[in-house]
Structure formats: C-alpha cells, structure tokens
Amino acid sequence: MMSNQKYKRTNFEEDEVSVGGTPPPGDLNASVIFKNSLSVCRKGRTTLECILFVLIGLFSIALIVMGSLLAIKGKQIDRMKGNGQGDEVCLMPECVTIAGSLLKAMDRSADPCVDFFQYACGGWIKSHVIPSGHSRWGTFGVLWQENQVIMRQVIERPLNSTNSTAEKKAMLYYQSCMDKNKTIEELGAKPLLQMLQSLGGWSISNSSGFWDVKTFDLQKTLQQMGISVLFSIWVAEDDKNSSANILQIDQAGLSLPEREYYLNKTISEDKVLTAFLEYMTRLGVLLGGEENNTREQMLEIIEFEVQLANITIPNEDRRSEEKLYHRMTVKDLQNMAPFINWLDMLNTLLSVTNQSFTESEEIVVYAPEYLQNMTVLLRDTMSTEEGNRTLRNYLIWHVAKTMAPYLSSPFRDARKILTEALSGTTGGEELWRYCISDTDDVMGFALGAMFVREAFTGDSKEKAEKMIQEVKTAFKKNLPSLSWMDDKTREAAVEKANAVIDLIGFPEYILNRTKLDKEYERLTINASEYFWNNVRNLQFVMMQNLEKLKQKPKANVWDMTPPTVNAYYTPTKNEIVFPAGILQAPFYDPYFPKSLNFGAMGVVMGHELTHGFDDQGREYDKFGNMRQWWNNASIEKFNDRAQCIIDQYSQYKLNGENIKGKQTLGENIADNGGLKAAYHAYEAWVQEYGEERPLPALNLTHRQLFFLGFSQVWCSTSTKEADHLQIVCDPHSPAKFRVIGTLSNSMEFAKLYNCAPGSPMNPVKKCEVW
C-alpha cells in the first residue's frame, strides 16, 4: 500500500510518464549539443556562409590536432578572456568546436524575434530523428545515453572488481535483468501466478477457485497487497513541522496517467481506452484467462476506474499546499471515510517495523473529499456480487500490471500496445540500456558510486558550488527592485534564500564502502531471480519508508541518484539538489565560455532556487515549515503576477491544444526567475573578470550567447501523443514554450536581439514575478 509521496519536489525536467510497473527507461532526459561536429552547408545558406563553414571545418581539424599537443588539461580556458574589451575572436580548438556545434543546432534562416526556439534549435530538430523506444528526444536524452555507456562499463566488470557488497548486488541485479541464461523466459507467467495465488487467486486467470465472491473481504485484500491502490500511504516530513515525520494519505488508484483519459470518452471510439482494454485483455490471457471472458471482466474494471476518475481531484486544482493539508487523528479519518478499518490497516502496515498506532494518533490527509466520495462509491459497488467481483478484479489487476514488466517478453510486449497509444512510442531500445536504467531505479546509489568514481572527477563540485552562490547573490540583489514586495517580506525572502541548502554531485556516504553496504544490507539480490528481486525491493523500500515514522528527518537525503540528468527542490527541507549526471556539457563544462555555462547550468540553478518562491514553495519558510510568512498585501500582489503567467502560458498551443497555465504555473515561474537570476549572475561575473572573447562565425556577443545556450538545452522533438500526454499530466510546459515563454518576458533578451516592441518575442505586455 506504499507509494511515492504526493508532489513534494520540483524537478527541472519532466520524467517519462509510466504506464504501470517500472517506467520505460528511454525518455528520461539528456544530450550534449556542443559535442556535435561542425555543420556543413545547408539549403538556404549564402555562398559566403558556406565558404566560411567549410573553412572553419578545415581549420578546426588542424587546430584540434595542434591542441592535442599543446593544450594543458585541467586549466580553465582563461584564453577565452581577451584584452578586457572582448574584441579578439577566440580561435582556440575549444572555441571553434563550440561555435560549430552552436551553428549546427541553429536555423539562422528563422527570425529570432518571431520564433527563437526555431532559430536556436531548428537545425537540431531537422537532423535528429526520435530513436526507437522513445516518444521524445532532446538534449537531455543524449546525455542520459552517454551516462548509460559509462554505467555499463563499470557494472559489467567482474564481481571481484569491487569489495563493496552493495556494488556487487547492483551488478547481480543488472545480470538478473539482462537474463543471459534465459531464466525469465523459461519461467513465463509462473512467478506472478504464484503471487496471485498467495493473494487468494484471480477470477480472470485459471486460479479462480481460490476465492469466493460472496466472502470477498476488501480490508483483508488491501492489507495483503503491499502496493498503492484506491489511496496512497507514505511517511514523510510534516509540512507544518519539518523537524518531524508523519504518516500521510492521498488519492490514488488510476491505471492511466491522468483522469482526463477516462472522462467523456467512449471505449469503442477512444484510441487510448481501446488500447488499454486490449492491453488488459492480453495480460489476462497470458495469465491463463479465456479471451472473451477476460475482455468482459477487464471492461468492468475500466468502467469502475471511470467512476474513480470522476471523484479524483485534477492536479491543476491541487496547487495550494495549505488548502490540501488536513491534519487529523485516525479516529477522525475513520468517521470521515469508514469504508475500511483504518486503525487495522495502518497497524498491519506498521507491524513490519514493530510500530503501532492508536486511534488518537495524528496523520495528514491531502484528499478528504476524495476519501468521502470513495466511501459512497465503494458502498454502491459492493452492494452486489457483481460489484464485489469487479472491485476484487480491479485490486488484483493493479498487482498484475505492476509486476508484469518483470516477466518474460510476451508480458513486456503486451504493454507496448498501451505505451504506443499514450505516447506514440514504437519499437524498443537495446536491452542493456533498459537494464541500466532499471538498475538505477532499484540500486541507484550503489550504481551511482561506480559512476561517480568513473566520471565525476576534478573540481566540478567546487566550481558548481561557486556558481550557485553567484546565482543566489544575483537573486537576492534583484529583490529590492521588486516594488510589489513589502520590506518585511523582502527581508524574510533574503533569509530564506540564504538558508537554502545546496547538494551537489552525490551524497558523500556512497564512497564509504561500509556506509554504502549498510544502506542495502537488508536487500537480497540473486542473479537468476529478476521478478523476486523486484518483489523484495518493493518490500525493502516500504520498510525503509515506514521506519522513518518514529525518527527525526535525516539531513541531506537524496531523492535522485548521482547519474540522473535532472535537478530538484524540496520545500520541506529548503534544499536544492544537482546530481553529477547533469553537471556535464551542455549544462556545464569548464572549457565552455562562461556565457554558455551560466545560460545552461546557471539557469538550472536559478530555476531550482526560484522554486522556493513559486506559488507552492512560497508557502514554506526558511526552515521548510508551511506557514504564512508573507505580508497579506504582498501575497495579493504575488497572485496578480502569477495570474499573468497563467494567462500567458494558457494562450500557447501545441498541435492545436492549449497549455494548462495553472497546472504549469510553478515551473513557469521558476523558468522565468531562474533565467533572470542567471543572467544577472553572468553580468556580475563579467564585471569582475572582464569580457570574454567572441566565438568565431556566429556574429553574436556573449550576452546573446547566454540566451542561445539556455535555449539549446531545450532542443527536442516529440510525437503528437507524447505532446498531448505532457499537456495533460506534466507540471512543466513543453520545451518550445519553456524557451519562448521565458524569453518573451525578458527585456534584456529583447534589447540584445533587437526585437521590436510588439513582435512575437517582445510582446508589449510582459509577466514578471521574480
């Protein structure tokens, strides 16, 4: 019954939406634009441009050869600095290569004042096809693949290459996924059927004799399952007292990513619901069901989930943390939602940790209205034998679809039906890539230790820390210019920014063999038991989470593994985290011009910092406690500016579908604030160290390159299905509008690119929060 907690951290980049089980490892994120080779002449180039491109290409080859003999690694490219006026073109190998990569990604035939995304990324989009097994492809995706290569190199080494038992377990898990002995294929459905039999069987499969619809016990079934169905339960910091952990409950239970996929749809006519039914039927048949009977019962499950979708609160209406938070006793919960015995349910969960509750124990409920409506829905459903059968089938279906990805290839192939309908993904990526991502999901800090030793060397951590401080300083210096804030709130905002904790690269304990081994000592991994490895991991994760209940929250606990190409902010800890995986080109490279480093990684840092002050983050004080620390007048003015952002992004359309400005508000505020803070930080750097020498062929200043570097991070292409999925589910705006929306609010951008007032990239009305 455990699940991940509700929306508590804010990621820089969206994750691939999972369709049950482990998420497809493909569309995680990542790329290295600046490692591409120089571009060749393309249609639309002038003769002079073509000649220049060819000369640059030839010249770069010669320079790279010379550079391999003369360049001294480990030094920052101080040679990027000129005579203080920035008028000497940099012709060092790094500069030529970087310029060529930037040019190759661009479409210089596009007007930057009309569509800067096309101008910055048109060349990249034209030259990149979405790989098999992915629904979108961009700069994040390529970098993740490069990280996968490094992880493969270290995890495929012999077991005796490490003395760490945790690292050996990661190697064994990877081996169980790769399944070179074909154990998974030989077992077929047996492991899952065995699990279903332990739960009393399933009427859809051939184990129907194990249970009687007349004696169906909802309480007993829920307590046996161990996964989140109907509602989710977890332990985390108390929003209003971040120094203590508390048990928390929220809505859950839909198989499809969002309620909108169920509502006002006809199964026979809707592509996704048709694929969903086909997938469910095929999975049931693989588990021994008769096709027609299976289809009929699966249709009943979908009809039940439609009713569940109708009482599920949409994400865009759940953005106020203060309104969601309801602290109550277990007795209060029982009176509000008596469809099960909550005290028994919670004590059954806690029994694995030798803890127990009384009815006076306090918990936090985030969806009281949902649970009240659930009571009515279940009462009506369980009033007939047919309803009892449907409800039990629904519960067991969730076990089956969660565990099916760990079975043989027919089970994995069955899910592709739904994946293609939801995201447009076709084909599949190489098995080793899937297994690397899967191992990162299960044993990411053991695998991360190997990754860090192999790839995260030098002084990257120290340089990133310095850049964060520069961005923080710029953010704080901008606060006095915000006329809408009162002085007391502004002072408190400075204090909160000063209190933000920075975690960079990786948690230190993973390089301590004793501490790392202790982290995974209770997790048993066997190279021939892929399915049961994952069962044991679910139990292990549940145990770890529940044990936190009577403990004080630990400091500096990472939610992302070191190889991850992403970053996040946690409001209850007032903490920003930047894994080693993202501290690479194109986000950061010591050999890049500072303009590009600040435009890419600097904006990531500013983005996460600004999350502490977006519509949700601003509800938490510097200690991570939810309370009102703003003046009421400032709150009202903040809300006015936030509404401007909502209205602006709601006007953007992708494939004829409007972006959800309210759902994406927090990320849009963070994008805008992060860009502004990073640009001011770069200007401060220039004032201290002087202008950088221009890059060749681009005819752009470094201040212009700042905005180009920011934009090229988001170069990407995606299927129409993936676009719709993102609009429906994701708190992030699509990549194109993360560029256009943010830049069109920047006066500095408009001035530097000479965009006339009223042009698409320089609208007269601009939105500004931070």
- Residue 655, Ramachandran bin (φ over 0: left; ψ between -120 and 50: alpha; else beta): left
Element (H, E) at 423: helix 409-423
561 is written with which tokens?
């593994």
For residues 493 and 612, give the distance between their C-alpha atoms in angstroms, rounded to a whole number: 9
Which are the contacts of 466, defined by CB distance < 8 A and separation ≥ 6? none
Q: Which amino acid is at 682?
A: Y
Question: Rounded to whole angstroms, what are the CA distances from 349 to 196, 220, 232, 355, 550?
Answer: 19, 12, 12, 9, 14
Residue 149 within a domain: no
Residue 467 confidence (pLDDT) = 93
- Distance (Å, whole) CA 14 – CA 440: 17
Catalytic residue IDs: 608, 671
Q: Report d(CA 476, CA 520) in Å as an integer.
A: 41
CB hemisphere CA count around 280 (13 angstroms): 26
Q: Give the β-pairing of 716-718 and 231-238.
A: unpaired
Task: Specify if 688 maps to a domain.
Answer: no
Structure-token pair, residue 36? 């591409």
**How far is it, in rounded angstroms, from Cα 32 to Cα 531?**
35
CA geometry: angle at 665 spanning 633 and 121, to 5°? 135
pTM: predicted TM-score of the whole model, two decimal places: 0.87
Question: Residue 441: which of 399, 401, 406 has the closest Cα?
Answer: 406
- Closest Cα partner for 729 from 105, 379, 272, 361? 272
List, for residues 139-193, the tens digit of each pLDDT value: 999 999 999 999 999 999 999 999 999 999 999 999 999 999 999 999 999 999 9
pLDDT of residue 461: 83
The H or E element spanning position 121 is helix 116-127
Measured CA to CA, the distance from residue 581 to residue 562 in angstroms comes to: 6
CATH of the domain at 283: 1.10.1380.10
Domain that holds residue 401: 214-406
d(Cα 248, Cα 5) in Å, to the nearest integer? 8
Cis ω for the linkage preceding 158 (within 30 of 0):
no
Q: What is the pLDDT of residue 73?
A: 37
Q: Which ranges of 129-244 would DSSP assign to H, the alpha helix?
A: 139-155, 165-178, 183-187, 190-198, 218-225
Is beta strand 362-365 parallel, antiparallel or unpaired with respect to 575-579?
unpaired
pLDDT at residue 31 in the model: 30
Please check whether residue 401 lies inside any domain of the structure: yes
Tally of structural domains, the chain: 1
Report angle CA 662, 666, 670 to the nearest 5 degrees: 140
Cβ atoms of 141 and 130 within 8 Å: the answer is: no
Q: What angle do CA 659, 663, 669 make, to 5 degrees?
A: 90
Cα–Cα distance for residue pair 19/263, rounded to 1 Å: 18
**Which token pair is 24?**
């497809």
Low-confidence ranges of the chain (pLDDT < 50): 1-7, 16-79, 82-86, 208-209
Q: Give the DSSP H/E element, type plus range, for residue 648.
A: helix 632-650
Q: Does residue 311 lie within any of the structural domains?
A: yes
Angle between helices 116-127 and 93-105 (to 10 degrees): 100
d(CA 428, CA 471): 40
Give domain status of residue 309, yes or no: yes
Asked whether residue 375 is assigned to any structural domain, the reply reads yes
Is 241 among the domain residues? yes
Return the sign of the alpha-carbon dihedral for residues 122, 126, 130, 131.
negative
Q: How far apart are CA 489 and CA 492, in angstroms?
A: 5
Contact between 695 and 592 (Cβ < 8 Å): no
Residues 6+ apart with CB under 8 A from 244: 237, 238, 552, 553
3-state secondary structure 222-252: HHHHCECECEEEEEEEECCEEEEEEEEEEEC
Q: Measured in Å, how far apart are the chain's first and last C-alpha atoms?
A: 40
Per DSSP, what are the bridge partners of residue 284?
Answer: none
Count of other CB atoms within 10 angstroms of residue 537: 18
Q: Is residue 99 part of a domain?
A: no
Bridge partners of residue 249, in order along the sequence? 233, 365
Q: What is the pLDDT of residues 418-460, one digit of tens each?
A: 999 999 999 888 999 999 999 999 999 999 999 999 988 767 7
Helices assigned H by DSSP within 479-602 = 487-499, 513-519, 530-547, 594-597
CB 556 within 8 A of CB 503: yes
Cα dihedral 738→742→744→745 (10° resolution) = 160
